[in-house]
Structure 1
Amino acid sequence: MSGVMRHLRILREFLRAALVEEMEYRSHFVSNLLMTLFGVAMAVLTVQVFFYQTKSLGGWGFYEVLILLGVFNALQGFVDMVLRPNIGRIVQHIRKGTLDFILTKPVDSQFFISFRHIGIWKFFDILMGLAIVAFGVYGAGIRLEFDDVLLFMLLMLASVVTLYSLWMGVMTLSFWFVKVENISFLFSSLFETGRYPVQLYRDWLRFLLTYVFPVAVLTTFPAASLIGKLEFGHVGISIVIAWVTFLLSRWFWKRALRFYTSASS
């Protein structure tokens, strides 16, 4: 328990350092906010265009798809706030040998390399995504109970853990491959499929997007929990996939460190 509290204190210091750094460039707040608003407007407009031609997408109505879009945008905000600024640096740390300095610090190396740099203004992307979720719930006339909100939060936590673990696993390949940018691009492209309900895809592709690259766990299941479309067993699937992917990413990172040749060796 003391170890957890220690890492939480370190995370607090990372957040404080990020805030101090970003306050030097306050115009970033305005530019990021405008970009977020523009991106959200275009995404909603795209969904609206689809619904000019049809009444549902994979059995999901307009406001239900908006809820899904909100979940996707919140997760995209997490990617831009935490994953891209940190995990994307793994390649440079390995190439330049600066990973040596991280490994000598009295803190877990995976934790440090995952959270040291935080794009603090991207937090508004997460808030905007959750605002879209709330608007979709209101527009669909859904009355949520406290249990529904708790279930949604649980599934969102599973989504965040799964997304982090998958991204971490991809970037850990940098220990063996010089260029992983193409794999990272493929990862981002697959994640984009989460903008739409997994029911929209064919059976074989739906299976792949649930169990191989779990887009359904990332976006569809949390959104489905709010609109009454969550099937039996989906909660268990989300938790198991989140737990398994996290353990695998942890194991993969530790194994990769054994193959790391430091700059001083």
Structure 2
Amino acid sequence: MSGIIRHIRILREFLRAAIVEEMEYRSQFVSNLLTTLFGVAMAVLTVQVFFYQTGSLGGWGFYEVLILLGIFNVLQGFVDMVLRPNIGRIVQHIRKGTLDFILTKPVDSQFFISFRHIVIWKVFDILMGFLIVGVGIYGAGLPLEPVGVLLFLVLMLASVVTLYSLWIGVMTLSFWFVKVENISFLFSSFFETGRYPVQLYRGWLRFLLTYVFPVAVMTTFPAASLIGKLEPSQVLVSAGVAVLTFSLTRLFWKRALRFYTSASS
């Protein structure tokens, strides 16, 4: 328990440093905020264009897809706020040997390398995502019940854990392969499919996006919990995928460290 509290305190310091750093460039902060608003507006407009041609996407109506888009935006904000600025640096740490300094710190190396650099203004992407979810719920006239909200939050937590695990799992390959940028690009391309319900895809592609690269777990299932399209088995799938991917990623990280040759050795 004391270890968890210590890591929470360290995370708080990381956040404080990120806020101080961002406030040094306030004009850029405003510019980034406007960029976020423009990006969200274009994403919503794209969904509207689809619905000018059809009444549903994979059996989902406009506001239901809007909820899904909001969830995708929340997760994309998490990627840009935490994952991309941190995990993308793993390659540089390994190439330059600066991973040595991280390994000597009295903190878990995976935790440190995952959360040291936080792009704090990206929190607006996350907030805008939840706002879109709220608009979708209101537009669809969906009732909000405590049990449903709790289930949604649990599935969102599973989504974040799964997304984090897959991302750091891919970047851990840099211990063996010098260039993993192409794999990272492929990861991002697959994740983009999460903008739309997995029911839109057919056959082997739906299976791939549910069980192999679980986009459905990360976006479709949380949205389905709010609109009443979630099956009980999908809750177990979400929890199972989150636990499995995190456990495997943790083991993979520890194994990778054994193969790391420090700059001082």
Q: Where on the TM-score scale, by shorter chain, does this alignment land: which range?
A: over 0.9
Equivalent-residue separation in structure 2 for 1:28 and 1:238 (angstroms): 38
1:150 counterpart SS class: helix
Matches within 5 A, 1:208-227: 208-227=208-227
Deviation at 1:176, TM superposition (A): 0.3
Equivalent-residue separation in structure 2 for 1:203 and 1:6 (angstroms): 47
Deviation at 1:220, TM superposition (A): 0.2
How much is the aligned-residue C-alpha RMSD, in angstroms? Answer: 0.5
**CA deviation vs aligned residue, 1:76-130 (integer Å, no higher than 9, x gap):** 0000000011000000000000000000000000000000000000001000000
Structure 1 partner of 2:14: 14
Q: TM-score, normalised by structure 2?
A: 0.99
Structure 1 partner of 2:256: 256
Deviation at 1:27, TM superposition (A): 1.6
Query: Structure 2 counterpart of 1:90, which letter?
Result: I
**CA deviation vs aligned residue, 1:26-45 (integer Å, no higher than 9, x gap):** 12221111111111111111
Query: Structure 1 counterpart of 2:155, which letter?
Result: L
Structure 2 partner of 1:155: 155
**CA deviation vs aligned residue, 1:142-174 (integer Å, no higher than 9, x gap):** 011011111000000000000000000000000
Structure 2 partner of 1:237: 237
1:194 aligns with 2:194: yes
Query: Structure 1 counterpart of 2:21, which letter?
Result: E
Equivalent-residue separation in structure 2 for 1:33 and 1:140 (angstroms): 28
Structure 2 partner of 1:65: 65
Query: Structure 1 counterpart of 2:106, which letter?
Result: P
Equivalent-residue separation in structure 2 for 1:32 and 1:128 (angstroms): 13
Structure 2 partner of 1:133: 133
User: What is the identity percentage for the equivalent residue pairs of Structure 1 and Structure 2?
Assistant: 85
Q: TM-score, normalised by structure 1?
A: 0.99
Structure 2 partner of 1:49: 49
1:20 counterpart SS class: helix
Structure 2 partner of 1:83: 83
Query: Structure 2 counterpart of 1:77, which letter?
Result: G
1:184 counterpart SS class: helix
Deviation at 1:232, TM superposition (A): 2.4
- Counting matched residue pairs gives 265
Equivalent-residue separation in structure 1 for 2:253 and 2:27 (angstroms): 37
Structure 1 partner of 2:145: 145
Query: Structure 1 counterpart of 2:50, which letter?
Result: F
Structure 2 partner of 1:114: 114
Query: Structure 1 counterpart of 2:61, which letter?
Result: G
Equivalent-residue separation in structure 2 for 1:117 and 1:260 (angstroms): 22
Query: Structure 1 counterpart of 2:39, which letter?
Result: G
Mean CA deviation greater in 189-198 or 199-208: 199-208
1:228 aligns with 2:228: yes
**CA deviation vs aligned residue, 1:204-226 (integer Å, no higher than 9, x gap):** 11111010000000100000000
Deviation at 1:62, TM superposition (A): 0.1
Query: Structure 1 counterpart of 2:245, which letter?
Result: T
* Poorly superposed stretches of 4+, deviation over 6 Å: none
**CA deviation vs aligned residue, 1:160-200 (integer Å, no higher than 9, x gap):** 00000000000000000010000000000000000000000
Equivalent-residue separation in structure 1 for 2:6 and 2:28 (angstroms): 31
2:59 counterpart SS class: coil
Query: Structure 2 counterpart of 1:202, which letter?
Result: R
Equivalent-residue separation in structure 2 for 1:32 and 1:70 (angstroms): 19
